[in-house]
Amino acid sequence: MNDFYTVRQAGKHTVVEFQTPSLMNPQELERVGSSLFHLVDQEKRDHVVLDFAKVKYLSSQAIGIILTLNKKLSGGAAGGDNLVLCGVGPQLMQLLKITRLDRILTIKNTQQEAVAKETARPATEEPPSRKKS
């Protein structure tokens, strides 16, 4: 269907795995964006995981698509982290941090973490019990 990504269902999550190292071409991104918006708007997929494990480069247009998806999915009745990014390498993470999008978007290390059942927020918020001596 699309050389740039594959789509599969993992429980309630729709997993989009990008298959290209570069999401920079405007014409291709136009098609990718339209397809992803179709998944959310027409097919009513309300839990989407974007796997960037193979991606090295993102254009501002690609970031715009991600932010639009995040807006569409965060407005749903389900609430919570309906868009999750995973497989974000160091280069892309640097871009997300520079633009401060790491504060807006939900980012997990692996696809397995991204599709895991909702758990209490990151473990860093709940320190392990300590022995009191």
Backbone angles phi, psi at 119, to 5 degrees: -120, 170
Contacts with 88 (C-beta within 8 Å, 6 or more apart), sequence order: 52, 96, 107
Residuewise pLDDT in 10s, the chain (133 residues): 467 899 999 999 999 999 999 999 999 999 999 999 999 999 999 999 999 999 999 999 999 999 999 999 987 544 457 999 999 999 999 999 999 999 999 999 999 999 986 543 443 333 444 444 4
Domain spanning 5-117, CATH architecture: 2-Layer Sandwich (3.30)
8 forms beta bridges with 15
